[in-house]
Structure 1
Amino acid sequence: MARMKFLCDAERCIECNGCVTACKNDNEVPWGINRRRVVTINDGEPGEKSISVACMHCSDAPCMAVCPVNCFYKTDEGVVLHDKDLCIGCGYCFYACPFGAPQFPQQGAFGQRGKMDKCTFCNGGPEEDNSQAEFEKYGRNRLAEGKLPLCAEMCSTKALLAGDGDVVSDIFRNRVTVRGKGAEVWGWSSAYGKPEAPAAAPAKGGA
């Protein structure tokens, strides 16, 4: 069984926000809710990188662990979904999620929380597949149509990958190999920004 995952290639992301726009338009996401957003690190400085962030559909999702009403559930393909009819808007999932994926509509001057909303991997919700009730609550169910999330399909540079985790990993692994960084792509210099130690000079032969 496929395990659906997202992966954003920071070497390719150009911060065009096409993925954000595609998600909002296709799912008719309410104003103030961003199921996907683009985050830029070191903006305007050397080493600037951008990455598209949404719900990562974790294998061991912290949002599921802290929800007091168990509104979260996981599909056979590993997509983490939620039931808005059960959600009480407590916000625990928002504080538990390291990606800030759960979103809450701000209603009134004091920010009273409504029903939680988040990326569904374009997999809808507990209602009947592709029904009007499902679309109104969770957006389009593209997986039921045999399609991948629109955010990934609309990415102009193919920085955002979505689909079976094994296939996505293979695609990214091939890209890294072609770039020539090899096994050192996640090495000390990449993680901490420190230069690699210079190679030792070859020993001179004796006379």
Structure 2
Amino acid sequence: MKYIIYCYQKKVAEGKKYDFSKRGKIAKEDFLRNGLVNDYLSKTNNKTYYKNFISDNPFVEITFNPEETKTYIDSETREERNDKIDISIYESSIQQIWSNKTNDEIKFVIECKRINTFDDCNEYIKDIKKFTERNQTTFRLPIEGQIAFIETELLNHEQIVEDINRKLKSNKSIATLDYLELHSLDKSFDCSYKSLHKKNFGIEEKFKIYHLLFDYSSIVIN
């Protein structure tokens, strides 16, 4: 998540723009997601920075895959279904740390959402709900990630988090133990949060979500 913040800040510093009129047939959310992955996260020079200054391990390997598909069992119907993941991340150090838990390839998962109005927070919460109710058939870390692309100057991250927390408090289908609260990942970035939830199946395992709320109001061109 620190690396994603680094790439976002580099994007802002470089004045990168994403013009929706040039996205062709790509959905707007995917257009922004692909730009983050292809233009920054997957670039060799940026990954070198990650290895030397964030991971502090020059031999670590990290890869990013947009729109990867996993299989999950629906908690109500018990049917197997496809779980389309916005960004899945493989990192060799994480693999080594958790290798005694599973033979599966371990991925860190991030879901993305565009936010223009408070109504869009409902879509953001749907991803939290998805984390709680989808019983993955392969190993899943007890840590998830979410990114909000805030496209309007009329809303800031504090207002959005306040609305998300208000809606979570009234949501009976999501077991929230700790609502979104500020959690510093980088001293130069103050829009990162953390929350704690429970799965709604099996032993109701606890899991954390790290949230990054990015100001895209000057990046997106409508």
Q: Normalising to structure 2: TM-score of the pair?
A: 0.22
Larger Rg, first or second structure (1 or 2): 1
Question: Higher strand proportion, which one?
Answer: 2
What's the TM-score once normalised by structure 1's chain length? 0.23
Which structure has greater helix proportion?
2
